[in-house]
Amino acid sequence: MKRSPLTASRDVFAAVGDPTRRRLLDLLSRGELPVRRIAAPFAMTRPAISQHLGILLRARLVEVRRDGRERYYRLHASPLRRIHDWVRHYERFWKGKLTALGDFLDAEEKKERRR
């Protein structure tokens, strides 16, 4: 699978694949914040946070609002819907409702393969 240099910037899955960025979203789910405030609880420099925010921005997971010299970032959760929908497909598997059917299908497929 080709991965252009900006994959994580666009792909919600990749964007959320990083634990720091997940923490950022969690933090922003409490309400909008200026960068300085966002960066404070993290053990990394502000530019690093800025870069993570840039990735979240390009994945449309956050929005910015300028106010004087500050930039307030706020959560924009809707792209997470894509992940939600994808995972939801698998819900039936871990809920066990499909175990029997799954096994049945597996067996059927094995028969198929033998032909």
Partner DNA sequence: TTGACAGGTAAGCATCTACTTACCTATTCT
Partner DNA sequence: AGAATAGGTAAGTAGATGCTTACCTGTCAA
Site for DNA, rule CB under 7 A:
1, 3-8, 14, 17-18, 20, 34-37, 44-48, 50-55, 64, 67-72
State the minimum distance, in angstroms, from the CB of residue 13 to a copy of itself. 5
DSSP element (H, E) containing 39? helix 35-39
d(CA 94, CA 75): 30
DSSP state of 41: T
Do the Cβ atoms of 41 and 81 come closer than 8 Å? no
The footprint of a copy of itself on residues 28-47 (CB under 8 A) is 29-33, 44
d(CA 14, CA 5): 12
- Of 10, 46, 84, 97, the residue at the interface with a copy of itself (CB under 8 A) is 84
DSSP element (H, E) containing 65? strand 62-67
Which residues make up the interface to a copy of itself (CB under 8 A)? Answer: 1, 11, 13-14, 16-20, 22, 25, 29-33, 44, 74-75, 77-78, 80-81, 83-84, 86-91, 93-94, 102, 105-106, 108-109
